[in-house]
Amino acid sequence: MGNAIIITKLQDRLHVFHMLENQIDRLFVEPLTSSEVYPNGTIVIGKIQKIVAGIHGAFLSLGSKTEYFMPLPKAGEHNVWLLNRAFDGSLKCGDEIVVQVIKQPIKSKQPMVDYHISLEGLYCVLDNSGKGIQVSSKLSVKKANELKSLFLTEHTDEECYKIVIRTNAGFAEDNQKVYEDYLVLAECYRHLRSIYNSRICYSVLYQPDAAYLKAVKDIPRNQYEEIITDIQEVYEALGSKEYIGVRLYEDASYPLCKLYSLETKQQELLHPKVWLKSGGFLVIEQGETLTAIDVNSGKNDKKADICYATNLEAVHEIFRQIRARNISGMILIDFINMKDASSLDSLIQRVREEIKKDYVRCQYIDMTGLGLMEITREKKLPSLRELL
């Protein structure tokens, strides 16, 4: 098997496996959501129950017992859609406001909404938190300039939103397909603007695609050759959109998950110990707010060149594990000690290169006085450990 996306069910929960070189690089697991909490991406009219100035936030009801947290608008914000009055720069208890669900509840944290509206397509994202055209930094300069020119030539809408052109735009059949994707989003946005004032509080204005479709959209097309699923409904949903190489697996005698040892590979992601090909190993310990990763040489010689080689090998595996396990927050990495400053500089450079591959915002911070590397990674979804 080459690089592929596999969509199947394990323990009655839908899983999206992004496989690179027969290893899990990303893994989406359908969350066990409460019927009281809307899926991420849902746009609904909520009512502000209380405002807490100390944390610059508000708590909203969307029609159920569950409270949702929302950051308050910053000074100068104007794209806030209120039903009961014109927005004057501040919010009050009782205000009816259009919001979008952006985070599910994680442990003791409440679900979160935002007053900004964001609509995602395969090639574009429309977001009313700003203006202008923003192009993925992963596109070539030539492609980025072509797409910018196309949008500047044809885009005359004066709506207050920005257009984000995704990495996937580089793999569209032609540039016009990218623009057509935007037009669908723009039409949806205008429709929402035209109807929200005539709806009652707690009305759902927009329901997003199934979560697994978003997971597939977020994987650049150059990182997979085909999408394989054994679920007819998923196959039909993917077939109705512009996805390449969608295949329905129909061999009932041998399950898809067993063919690719998916359950075994998933269980390996829950183990703290990860072996390296060189004989070294990693120990990954996830805490509530911090993850510690220790690099060990195993039975290898402790010579400087071997320590350096083991550390370089560990970098690639560490960041694969971080992506696949969806580890976030503060991450401390204890590499094998190296006295050579140039080797350490080279190691840090390799870490920076791996960070660029991440689909979630990740940042190298520094080396501590004890020689530990500090990394931070944004939390968007629960980690695999929390989900399972």
- State how far the alpha carbon of 376 is from the alpha carbons of 122, 332, 366, 386, in Å: 28, 9, 10, 19
- State how far the alpha carbon of 243 is from the alpha carbons of 213, 222, 225, 226, 240, in Å: 10, 12, 10, 9, 8
Q: What is the 3-state secondary structure (H, E, C) of 220-255?
A: CHHHCCEEEECCHHHHHHHHCCCCCCEEECCCCCCC
* Non-local CB neighbours of 388 within 8 Å, separated by 6+ positions: 29, 266, 270
pLDDT digits (tens, 9 = 90+) for 11-70: 889 999 999 988 999 999 987 766 678 989 999 999 999 999 899 999 999 998 899 999
Token pair recorded at residue 212: 């697994």
Number of helices and strands (H, E) in the chain? 9, 21
In one-letter notation, the amino acid at residue 257 is C
The pLDDT assigned to 159 comes to 62
Q: Which candidate, 52, 15, 45, places its Cα nearest to that of 30?
A: 15
Q: pLDDT 10s per residue in the chain (388 long)?
A: 679 999 999 988 999 999 998 899 999 998 776 667 898 999 999 999 999 989 999 999 999 889 999 999 988 888 899 998 999 989 999 999 999 999 888 777 889 999 999 999 999 999 999 888 899 988 999 999 999 888 877 655 556 789 999 999 998 888 999 999 999 999 999 999 999 999 999 999 999 988 899 899 889 888 899 999 999 999 999 987 778 789 999 998 999 999 999 999 999 999 999 999 988 999 999 987 899 999 998 776 667 678 889 999 999 999 999 999 999 999 999 999 888 889 999 999 999 999 988 888 999 999 998 899 999 999 877 889 888 7
Q: Which candidate, 179, 197, 238, places its Cα nearest to that of 83?
A: 197
